[in-house]
Structure 1
Amino acid sequence: MLRVAVAGASGYIGGELLRLLTGHPRVEVVLATSNTFAGRRVDGPHPNLRGRTKLSFAGHDALEERAGSYDVLFLAMPHKQTMGRMARYLELAGTVIDLSGDFRLRDAGVFADYYETAHTAPGLLGSFTTGLPEWHRDELRTADRISVPGCMAAAGILTVRPLAEAGLIDGPVDVDARTGSSGSGVSAGSSNLHAERSGAMRLFAPTRHRHEAEVAQATGLPVRMTATGVEAVRGVQVLCRVGLAEGTREADVRSAYRKAYADEPFVRVVAHKRGAYRLPEPKILAGSNFCDVGFAVDGARASLVGALDNLVKGGSGNAVQCLNVRFGWPEETGLEFTGLHPN
């Protein structure tokens, strides 16, 4: 059994990691850290884990104290907290999988621009492999430093990159992203109270959402992203508006998606002419590791649509999929849940 530790395990992403890893047949979770809940059982903040584990939280100091007792370290810490400690984290485990935003971008200047702070470990930026198996599988097989993309970035990359690789996009990409309230995290603050969020469609990033830099980095295209909070708890949907290269037909767009994702276990092409779910819809993906991608073509322009669960394929599930790739296991291991309908 592979021994794993989860740092920052009391948040939503950490809870999803524990849910997936405690059900993983080849993994034993030996340590889950949280300074806030140190000494308390993990099924307190994560009541869905009742009866699934007897694990209790330890403080973050336990990562040092128990070094050598785990093989893989998952970091589910808030943005800007891992970069200052990463050099030490890399000494504590053979493989480190970071789910924060600190090592997603390769350029320290771009990081400073989007995160509004200087990167404190710029020399490590290029040493992390992007944790998106669909586009980095070969690198992930031997990677010991993995950085999992942001939820809206993962959806945007999976949606746009097949057409970018095929040379079918002409000009910039406009990404209109929508996300549920869990994307704000467990400590979101007063603006995300139910009384404030219920019934709202809040455009919280009218320009330059930080995930646009990840999509631009992955596709080589200029990207503009807006982000809106919607009433759902889980889910991300991105609507990416693009111009098509001269002569591009609908059949070419469909072919690019089919070529890119024909053998992928967790990406499905959903582009039908009719039906309630004729295009990707996050509602039916809750709890699953799927990302659905689709499109609609109108002459020289196309609307590209992607949907996923922000906590699973947009975070913890993607991290577990990377773990499976890294250790040579079937990618579906521990990720078999298909989502619910109706939900």
Structure 2
Amino acid sequence: MTPSIDHADPPQGKPPPLVEGKQGAKKEHSMTLWQALKLYPKAVGWSVLLSSTLIMEGYDLALLSSMYASPAFNKKFGVQTSSSKWVVPASWQSGLSNGARCGEILGLLLNGLISERLGYRRTMMGALVTITAVIFLFFFAVNIQMLLAAEILAGIPWGIFQTLPAAYASEVCPVVLRPYLTTFINMCWVFGQFVAVGVNRGSISRDDEWAYRIPFGVQWAWPVPILIGCAFAPESPWWHVRQGNLQAARRALQRLTSSDDPSFNPDETLAMIQHTNELEKSLSSGTSYCDCFRGTNLRRTEVVCVVWLVQTLCGQNLMGYFAYFCVQAGLPTVDSFNMSLGQYGLGIVGTLGSW
């Protein structure tokens, strides 16, 4: 149980916890970008590490859709048409994509339950171990049914990767850094898609099974290094406070900040976290998910949902098929992949522009 802020008389010379919390909140909200970078360089580094899982997810999601433009892949997993061309039927293309989405929905739902119980760090490590095992299914797939099973199973850790880094970044970093580190997640996603198209572009000239096995095997380049890094990452101090472990929260906060700044008082930040946690508990007491669709909360739900829907409504899911569409339109295969690389390059520029 999370201990509440004690309003009893504080020790001699020490301000009350509520006063400390207000001081911590005031300092955080008045912090400049440069001050935050100097004080929280470790938090930025750990946040970037966890966000790099989105490079892997972006790579994985773009990989299969761009492979539909690969002759060797189509010959292995597709069917021969009346024009003697090998293609993966549209029904299977849709099934593979939707299978991954089903797994992602499950992963998104599980993430909140598991991360609140086990913590962000252990949840991320479990997801990385899972995806490492699932990649074997991709690499050794002998038919399209095995690919479908791999897509569904991989979707579960992918769903965790989508949400956990954003929650971790928003908790370990001060307010001024959150817009940069949460949108950096999108850059990781786009960069992963860029790498996927580049790897496919490099192996497209092969006419054997390695034309698609090499891109599948490259997926192993991410999980192990990130897993090792996550083993040493500090847990979110907010999570420790929610678990009632204030000493662990203080240690985590010290690991996330630089010890060179004498003006930083971890007790003030810890008091702010405690006070905010108690406030959120009091506001959520007696409420349910149904309250998200009532009164003022309905407006907040609408705003959040529409902001997230923009990513899909702009045609994001069609971007992965860009090379395939170009090939179907008559553009040479290599040129189609070059066009796709340019598309994702513009995506990286767009994320920089959002900053």
TM-score (norm 2): 0.22
Which structure has more strand as a fraction of its residues? 1
The structure with the larger Rg is 2
Which structure has more helix as a fraction of its residues? 2
TM-score (norm 1): 0.23
